[in-house]
Structure 1
Amino acid sequence: MAGWPAVALIGAAFTVVMLGATLPTPLYPLYQEAFAFGELGTTLVFAVYAAGVIAALVLVGGWSDQVGRRPMLRAGLALSGLSAVFFLLADAPGWLFAGRVLSGLSTGIFTGTATSAIMDFAPAHGRGRASLVAAAVNAGGLGAGPVLAGVLAQYAPLPLSLCFIVDLVLVALAAICVEAVREPVRRTGKPSLRPQRIVVPIEVRRVFLRAVVAGFAGFAVLGLFTAVSPAFLGTVLHNTDHAVTGVVVLSVFVASIFGQAWSSVIGTQRALTMGCAALAVGAILVGTGLLVASLAVLVLGALVAGAGQGLSFRAGLGSVTEICPPDKRGAVTSSYFVAFFTGISIPVIGVGAAAEAFGLVVAGTVFAAVLALFAAVALLLTARAGRQ
């Protein structure tokens, strides 16, 4: 199977893996109570996930260009399923760390490989639409995970187990999707499976750098929101409904999808510029929501920042993948995501550590201000690049 049906099947598998990556988000208060650790412990659990993602992108990010897309997609699904098993068996914090490392490795393998596979299968005249599909299923899966886990934890039995059982069923269905498509990469000779260097071909470099600056800012703001919102709801607003936590986290990813769709209408340069501006405004609103203890302002900031992240992310991803040589697409796409997962992890680690010393509100507000400033700098650099 090839063409748009293959794009749909790979997109479905991509969604499942990303969904699994965010399933634990609304469950961390339960884990903190069960295993007696604080915000710093949650921060470290997230940090090992980001480390796993980056390790996979760097070590095996370009392998799918040589061994094929399907073998790497199979490996990503296997690790995703194994991560769910570790969470099911968790009776101590060590299981959480191991499960998050496996989830990070799965995400790192799948992100670059699935994005490249979607571009491979798309017809030549549909590359722009395919990049939108890749970006949308990425954000959609990340947003669906907290909602699924939150609803099941709040209204179904086995709050720390049922969502991972469901995830294992979804992984099995995703494996069927992967097996149903043909291999789009033709292997030539013996592959050289060396760790990937973060090297971008000269013909892609200018577009790549411009896209990375905007995308880094977007993922940093997204990381800040996902880091502070569950703890903010529980400790500041005293709302312990896990389903509400999932829906609040979902809001930023839904806005991201709308931003991605809008970027295809307004063009790459305008999308990058408007995206950075929205990120700066959204970060300010998120910080204000924390400072005045207002859920409405916090969610408004999430919607604005999410739209900005979607605009800049999809425009950057599309511009890079469309001009990238097919035999380098997996490696370049993986390098692109290394910057983003670095960006999404820094605020989470910083806020978690600072919250232990200064409190969640102070830590989150300061980081929001810093990220608003960074987004403003990204706006200036992106606008300057566009004029040049």
Structure 2
Amino acid sequence: MDGERRGWYPCLLGGAVFAVCMAGTTLPTPLYGLYQEKFGFSELIVTVVYAVYAFGVIGVLLLAGNTSDAVGRRPVLLAGLVFAAASAVCFLAAEGLGWLYAGRLLSGLSAGLFTGAATVYVLELAPQGDASRATFVATAANMGGLGCGPLLAGVLAQYAAWPLYLPFAVHLALVAGSVAVLLWLPETVRERRPLSTVRPQRPGVPPRVRAVFGPAATASFVGFALFGVFTSVSPAFLAQSLDVHDHAVSGLVVALAFFASTAGQSAVGRVGTRRSLPLGCAGLLAGLALLAGALHWDLLPLVVLSALVGGGGQGLAFRGALSAVAAASPADRRASVVSTLFVVAYAGISVPVIGVGLLVSPIGLEGAGLVFIACMAALVSTAAVYLLRRPVRATT
């Protein structure tokens, strides 16, 4: 047993580094209201500042998503931590809107480098023969880290001094510790090539995959869009409509969505791919309905339920989508197809969120949220109906 535990230490430490990086990407979530007060910008600007992150992620996925296969996992992850530290410095030094844009873009570059490389690294660090447990570590590190970011920032902002500075100072210290851990962990890529050999990945979907990719990508888009709205405008809704000005509560509500997603992803092994994708769509639809009720009746319990149900649906749908798309793709095109799925998913974080920001001024936050919910519900319902008529094939 002791040998088994020692064998898992590198995997768990790699997961901890992954979580620290991802926590930084959601750290500003409960602080946007404070930045609005300090710099005097609108709700639209909040959504644009948030969405800049997604553009950074998409850019890295397209241009450098396969870099770690050539130069090694550790150099890429170290570069991601450098971007994470630079993002924290931008927020610490922020004296205007430009600093927030820069911080979010750097955070997106960091997440883009980590999303693929850290997932594979955690799997490679695990003892052989237990891929299921290693996959859970990677999933929990990713979504759990995203959930810990707003929770940490909210608690510090509410109960400690310097709410716009202390969260980023703490994260900077965690990043420094992560660099030390990463330098101690082994490299898992044995045959490395020069950086000059790396070529940008071309996203694409072969004709034989399109029947699976369509509903999978639609569900992924809606799930990430729901997360985008939670992490960008839910603190404003809690403050303006529910009179909830506690930053810790705002951070906790957002964190619950990510923690529920972790639980949903971990359940895919038991539910199976064939059922997880349509069940995830149903969960997303229920989460959207609960969010609509929360907006209409101004009820905090419905916001919490929406985060839990929608987050669980997102976890089921997204891991099911990844499994289905990967299984349907030819081996020589698998990486590009999965990258395309991630691009669609991260587009869901940016485009609909900016749309909500544009609608806030003419029709208000509640009206903008209801329009968003109606559009996303139509998309996910279409995907669910298609999946019921043509279920994806089961995968092991």
User: Which residue is 2:120 aligned to?
Assistant: 116
Query: Residues 351 and 201 from structure 1, CA distance in 2 versus in 1: closer, same or farther, beyond 3 angstroms?
Result: same
- 2:320 paired residue among 309, 315, 321: 315
RMSD, aligned CA: 2.6
CA offset digits 1:219-239 (Å, max 9, x no partner):
122222223310101111122
User: Which residue is 1:15 aligned to?
Assistant: 19
Query: Residues 174 and 231 from structure 1, CA distance in 2 versus in 1: closer, same or farther, beyond 3 angstroms?
Result: same
2:200 is equivalent to residue 195 of structure 1: yes
2:291 is equivalent to residue 286 of structure 1: yes
Query: Residues 10 and 207 from structure 1, CA distance in 2 versus in 1: closer, same or farther, beyond 3 angstroms?
Result: farther
Aligned-residue offset at 1:123: 4.7
- 1:224 paired residue among 215, 222, 229: 229
Aligned residue pairs, count? 388
User: Which residue is 1:41 aligned to?
Assistant: 45
Q: Which residue identity is paired with 1:13? A: V
User: Which residue is 2:355 aligned to?
Assistant: 350
- Are 1:26 and 1:150, in contact at CA under 8 Å, matched by a contact in 2? yes
Query: Residues 197 and 184 from structure 1, CA distance in 2 versus in 1: closer, same or farther, beyond 3 angstroms?
Result: same
- Are 1:113 and 1:330, in contact at CA under 8 Å, matched by a contact in 2? no
- Identity, in percent, stands at 50
2:8 is equivalent to residue 4 of structure 1: yes
Aligned-residue offset at 1:77: 0.6
Query: Residues 281 and 381 from structure 1, CA distance in 2 versus in 1: closer, same or farther, beyond 3 angstroms?
Result: same
| Range with bigger deviation, 104-113 or 169-178 | 169-178
User: Which residue is 2:132 aligned to?
Assistant: 128
User: Which residue is 2:79 aligned to?
Assistant: 75
TM-score, length-scaled by structure 2: 0.90
User: Which residue is 1:98 aligned to?
Assistant: 102
Q: Which residue identity is paired with 1:376? A: S
- 1:169 paired residue among 169, 173, 191: 173
Distance 1:343 1:262 in 2: 23
CA offset digits 1:166-225 (Å, max 9, x no partner):
001111121122222222223355552222211467897776555433322221222222
Secondary structure at the residue paired with 1:260?
Answer: helix
- Are 2:71 and 2:193, in contact at CA under 8 Å, matched by a contact in 1? no
CA offset digits 1:261-311 (Å, max 9, x no partner):
222211111111111111011111101210111111122122111110111
- Are 1:112 and 1:334, in contact at CA under 8 Å, matched by a contact in 2? no
Q: Which residue identity is paired with 2:171? A: D
2:251 is equivalent to residue 246 of structure 1: yes
TM-score, length-scaled by structure 1: 0.92
- Are 1:3 and 1:123, in contact at CA under 8 Å, matched by a contact in 2? yes
| Range with bigger deviation, 102-111 or 58-67 | 58-67
Distance 1:232 1:79 in 2: 31
Aligned-residue offset at 1:130: 2.6
Distance 1:303 1:335 in 2: 27
- Are 1:59 and 1:196, in contact at CA under 8 Å, matched by a contact in 2? yes
- Are 1:69 and 1:113, in contact at CA under 8 Å, matched by a contact in 2? yes
Secondary structure at the residue paired with 1:147?
Answer: helix
Q: Which residue identity is paired with 1:40? A: L
Distance 1:207 1:285 in 2: 28
Secondary structure at the residue paired with 1:98?
Answer: helix
Distance 2:367 2:336 in 1: 39
| Range with bigger deviation, 216-225 or 353-362 | 216-225
| Range with bigger deviation, 58-67 or 121-130 | 121-130
Secondary structure at the residue paired with 2:30?
Answer: helix
2:234 is equivalent to residue 234 of structure 1: no
- Are 1:112 and 1:337, in contact at CA under 8 Å, matched by a contact in 2? no
- Are 1:215 and 1:316, in contact at CA under 8 Å, matched by a contact in 2? yes
2:371 is equivalent to residue 366 of structure 1: yes
- Are 2:46 and 2:232, in contact at CA under 8 Å, matched by a contact in 1? no
| Range with bigger deviation, 127-136 or 264-273 | 127-136
| Range with bigger deviation, 217-226 or 231-240 | 217-226
Map 1:298-309 → 2, pairs under 5 A: 298-309=303-314
User: Which residue is 2:341 aligned to?
Assistant: 336
Runs of at least 5 residues in structure 1 that lack an aligned partner in the other structure: none
Distance 1:125 1:211 in 2: 29
Distance 1:37 1:210 in 2: 37
Distance 2:250 2:330 in 1: 42
Distance 1:233 1:198 in 2: 38
CA offset digits 1:34-91 (Å, max 9, x no partner):
0011101111111211111111111111111211111111110100001000100011
- Are 1:77 and 1:171, in contact at CA under 8 Å, matched by a contact in 2? yes
Distance 2:190 2:332 in 1: 10
User: Which residue is 1:259 aligned to?
Assistant: 264
Distance 2:350 2:44 in 1: 13
Query: Residues 288 and 78 from structure 1, CA distance in 2 versus in 1: closer, same or farther, beyond 3 angstroms?
Result: same
Runs of at least 5 residues in structure 2 that lack an aligned partner in the other structure: 1-5
Distance 2:376 2:157 in 1: 32
| Range with bigger deviation, 272-281 or 121-130 | 121-130
